């Protein structure tokens, strides 16, 4: 799955918190819907109505030209599926009365009630982030407070309410969506920087005024950035641990009833007791001598106890915190979902060092406060995932020990032998599903009935038939033609294009399996690609191969080698605007932090798994991404020790039609042929086992070794043939 953004320059990184605090950046994202529209502004002026409508707009031509632009976009795209888009789809608050599309949500009531709450708290403004208390990448419906207040359901944004105004900040991916979903109570700010948000707060809140926020929904960095930007303005933040939106959200979805589950022994090498001891050893060895470790990220607790839940979409997590000391384990969760069997599994009836004390989820702050009040204690936290509500109570400073990531996250990053084996296994079965999709599309697309949506459903169906399947690991990106050039595109009824042999098609999808999480992208063309498409695809592939085959010392950072994914593109003046890969693991979130190629990822060590996913996107035309998951493995070198390389564990061949082998170096060609041999070796038996004869033929056809087109071998062989001919001639004469 494509990472949200690429590396940013460090100096001015005051960004609004996204659900995943590490993956947002202030850098210009890849071409997005709104960009597309923006560049079509000139097209807009051709239309009859446009000039006057546009003239009346204050913020941006895009807002009120939405209707015509959608029209021209669709006209350009030459696609008639989304007939609904011919209606005006975006609000126009400058009309009287304002025009609101049917998708807009009436937020008058909740705003009124929230403002009353704000008066009680004596605050002038209230900040509503789109995240949860665990700074999760995906959030549960019950945490969608920003969406409840604004109507806007995009995955990134921050809302702020004052007594007279209500404003949403979101990035360019979501501007159109926000204009469709919000009513005229809300103003849209096309920005995501805390600098901009703070400047707005200073302009709207009177001097001396206080700005409320829920500290459970702020990362330490977010809080710090607000303080920095409000500094010396005489406006201050007020931490209000009781969420004000929750107070007015009467029909807020309740917590799921489903019980937590423990992982079966066959997918486990280390029991939770062993893991606890491993973590305690790291606490013991730490020179700062922490007495406790607080775990806040949902995958930390899930990993430690080998437990899974279903609170978060696509992520098998459950709401939880853990406080671990050298002789106690406190697990904070919703206790009604813990069966007697699980209680036994967790040793909840004893009080020794390997007995888990279950505590109610809501008591974590109070409990931590009591713990910190004791003399001589020091709590270790990972700053990237701890919310400000838990941080602010750990005073004085010497009660706290911080690293970017907790030892659980850094330990979890290196997979043990069992985890490595079963994650490889999951990729074998996953490849079967993806091959089924690609084979089916090859036949079905020319018949003209398939769309991005049906393809997306098909791959889900294929995955669901594989053993230990637990559903998709994220919403598939199934994107045809220009849609594939849009950042974070997933098809909807409105946008879904019909698939045709005339366009490129990109499918980025993944599965959750009991033994592993997968994530793979393939880009294909069922007709005749242009020379540019073929060159761009080949160069993206060269990037993927160059990273995959590189040899590097153990401990090298991903950010220091990720340029290999871009270099072949750079050579001809191309590039892509997102990250090059992220960690992935055993039945967790598909973006498994802190492994990957960004500057805040940890150095690569043997046993880590990461995606490798360079791409190229041509606005309004096509998108290419080639994504594989690879494991970091040791490699023998001529002179040195402790060197590593990648081994690709995704096992689906690339579209042969799009590869121009004349661009590949002999090393790249060799790597590719070896990879295809591996696919045959590992996937052949699995396809046989599943009785998939046609799929096996397809796989064999698509993994034929490539011959080097311009190699010396071929050139020379021709001259050698000539030589042989000459000699033969000679013989004849003699």
Query: Which spans of this chain sit near a copy of itself (rule: CB under 8 A)?
Result: 7, 9, 11, 195, 231-232, 287, 396-398, 403-404, 532, 550-553, 555-557, 559-564, 567, 570-575, 599, 603, 637-641, 643, 665, 711-712, 715-716, 719-720, 722-723, 726-727, 729-730, 733-734
Tell me how crowded residue 444 is: count the other CB atoms within 10 A of its CB. 16
Measured from the CB atom, the residue of 707 and 720 that comes closer to a copy of itself is: 720
Name which of 118 and 194 has its Cβ closer to a copy of itself. Answer: 194
Which is it for the CA torsion 289, 294, 295, 296, positive or negative?
Answer: negative
Q: How far is the CB of 392 from a copy of itself (least distance, A)?
A: 18
> C-beta of 80: minimal distance to a copy of itself in Å?
32
- Name the residue nearer to a copy of itself (CB basis): 75 or 227: 227
Q: CB 78 → a copy of itself: shortest distance, Å?
A: 24
Q: Residues 108, 201: contact at Cβ < 8 Å?
A: no
Report the nearest approach of a copy of itself to the CB of residue 225 (Å). Answer: 15
3-state secondary structure 11-72: CCCCECCCCCCCCCCCCCCCCCHHHHHHHCHHHHHHCCCHHHHHHCCCCCHHHHCHHHHHHH
Q: How far apart, in Å, are the Cα atoms of 89 and each of 41, 63, 69, 71, 80?
A: 17, 11, 10, 10, 16
Taking the least distance from each CB to a copy of itself, the nearer of 8 and 690 is 8
Query: Which residue, 255 or 561, is less far from a copy of itself as judged by CB?
Result: 561
Pairing of strands 504-509, 520-525: antiparallel
CB-CB contact of 406 with 499 (8 Å): no
Q: Smallest distance, Å, CB 197 to a copy of itself?
A: 14
**Contact between residue 629 and residue 610 where contact means Cβ atoms under 8 Å apart:** yes
Least distance in angstroms from the C-beta of 384 to a copy of itself:
12
Least spacing, CB of residue 3 vs a copy of itself, in Å:
16
Instruction: Tell the smallest beta-carbon distance from residue 636 to a copy of itself (Å).
Output: 8
Residue whose CB is less far from a copy of itself, 97 or 287:
287
Question: Judged by CB, which is closer to a copy of itself: 193, or 348?
Answer: 193
- The secondary structure of the chain in percent helix, strand, coil, rounded to multiples of 5, reads 40, 15, 40
DSSP 616-683: EEETTTEEEE-BEEEEEEEE--SS-SSEEEEEE-------GGG--GGGS-HHHHHHHHHHHHHHHHHH
* Residue among 80 and 560 whose Cβ is closer to a copy of itself: 560
Minimal distance, residue 550 CB to a copy of itself, in Å: 7
Distance of closest approach, residue 321 Cβ to a copy of itself, in angstroms: 23
Task: Report residue 331: phi and psi, to 5°.
Answer: -115, 120
- Complex with a copy of itself: residue 163 or 717, whichever CB lies closer: 717
Listed residue (409, 373, 363) closest to 394, CA to CA: 373
DSSP letters, 405-462, are S-HHHHHHHS--HHHHHHHHHHHHHHHHHHHHHHHHHHHHGGGT--BHHHHHHHHHHH
Contact between 298 and 386 under an 8 Å Cβ cutoff? The reply is: no
| Token duo for residue 270 | 């280390």
| CB closer to a copy of itself out of 51 and 725 | 725
Candidates 646, 652, 701, 656; CA nearest to 679 is 652
């Amino acid at each position: 799955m494509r990472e949200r953004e690429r590396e940013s320059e460090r100096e001015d990184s005051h960004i609004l918190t996204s659900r995943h605090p590490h993956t947002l950046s202030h850098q210009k994202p890849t071409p997005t819907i709104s960009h597309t529209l923006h560049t079509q502004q000139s097209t807009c002026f051709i239309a009859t109505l446009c000039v006057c409508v546009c003239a009346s707009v204050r913020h941006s031509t895009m807002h009120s030209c939405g209707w015509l632009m959608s029209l021209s976009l669709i006209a350009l795209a030459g696609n008639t599926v989304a007939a609904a888009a011919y209606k005006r789809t975006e609000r126009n608050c400058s009309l009287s009365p304002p025009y609101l599309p049917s998708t807009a949500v009436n937020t008058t009531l909740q705003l009124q009630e929230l403002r009353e709450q704000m008066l009680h708290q004596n605050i002038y403004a209230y900040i509503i982030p789109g995240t949860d208390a665990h700074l999760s990448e995906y959030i549960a419906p019950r945490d969608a407070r920003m969406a409840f207040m604004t109507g806007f359901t995009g995955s990134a944004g921050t809302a702020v309410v004052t007594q007279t105004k209500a404003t949403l900040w979101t990035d360019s991916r979501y501007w159109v969506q926000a204009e469709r979903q919000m009513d005229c109570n809300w103003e849209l700010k096309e920005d995501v920087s805390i600098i901009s948000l703070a400047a707005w707060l200073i302009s709207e809140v009177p001097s001396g005024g206080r700005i409320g926020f829920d500290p459970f929904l702020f990362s330490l960095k977010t809080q710090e950035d607000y303080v920095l930007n409000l500094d010396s303005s005489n406006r201050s933040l007020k931490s209000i641990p009781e969420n004000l939106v929750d107070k007015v959200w009467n029909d807020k979805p309740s917590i799921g009833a489903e019980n937590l589950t423990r992982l079966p022994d066959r997918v486990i090498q280390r029991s939770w007791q062993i893991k606890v001891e491993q973590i305690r050893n790291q606490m013991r060895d730490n020179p700062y001598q922490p007495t406790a470790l607080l775990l806040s990220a949902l995958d930390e607790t899930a990993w430690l106890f080998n437990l899974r839940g279903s609170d978060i979409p696509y992520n098998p997590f459950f709401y939880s915190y853990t406080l671990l000391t050298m002789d106690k384990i406190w697990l904070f969760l919703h206790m009604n979902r813990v069966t007697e069997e699980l209680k036994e599994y967790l040793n909840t009836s004893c009080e020794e060092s390997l007995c888990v004390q279950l505590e109610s989820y809501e008591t974590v702050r109070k409990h931590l406060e009591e713990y910190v009040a004791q003399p001589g204690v020091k709590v270790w936290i990972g700053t990237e995932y701890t919310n400000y509500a838990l941080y602010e109570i750990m005073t004085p400073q010497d009660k706290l020990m911080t690293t970017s990531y907790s030892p659980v996250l850094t330990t979890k990053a290196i997979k043990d032998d069992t985890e490595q084996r079963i994650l490889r296994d999951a990729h074998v079965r996953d490849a079967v599903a993806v091959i089924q999709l690609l084979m089916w599309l090859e036949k079905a697309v020319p018949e003209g009935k398939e769309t991005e949506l049906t393809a997306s459903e098909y791959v889900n169906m294929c995955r669901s038939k594989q053993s230990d399947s637990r559903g998709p690991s994220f919403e598939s990106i199934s994107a045809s033609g220009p849609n594939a050039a849009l950042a974070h595109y997933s098809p909807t009824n409105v946008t879904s294009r019909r698939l045709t042999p005339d366009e490129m098609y990109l499918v980025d999808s993944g599965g959750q399996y009991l033994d592993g999480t997968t994530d793979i992208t393939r880009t294909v063309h069922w007709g005749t690609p242009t020379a540019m498409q073929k060159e761009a695809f080949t160069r993206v592939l060269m990037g993927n191969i160059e990273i995959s085959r590189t040899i590097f010392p153990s401990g090298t950072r991903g950010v220091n080698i990720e340029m290999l994914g871009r270099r072949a593109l750079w050579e001809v003046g191309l590039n892509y605007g997102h990250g090059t890969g992220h960690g992935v693991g055993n039945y967790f979130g598909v973006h498994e932090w802190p492994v990957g190629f960004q500057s805040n990822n940890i150095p690569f060590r043997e046993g880590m798994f990461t995606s490798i996913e360079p791409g190229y996107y041509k606005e309004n035309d096509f998108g290419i991404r080639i994504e594989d998951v690879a494991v970091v493995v040791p490699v023998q070198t001529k002179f040195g020790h402790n060197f590593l390389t990648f081994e690709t564990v995704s096992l689906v061949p690339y579209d042969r039609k799009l590869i121009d082998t004349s661009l590949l170096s002999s090393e790249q060609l060799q790597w590719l042929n070896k990879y295809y041999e591996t696919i045959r070796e590992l996937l052949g038996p699995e396809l046989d086992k599943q009785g998939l004869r046609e799929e096996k033929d397809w796989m064999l056809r698509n993994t034929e070794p490539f011959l080097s087109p311009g190699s010396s071998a071929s050139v020379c062989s021709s001259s050698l043939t000539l030589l042989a001919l000459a000699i033969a001639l000679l013989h004849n004469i003699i």
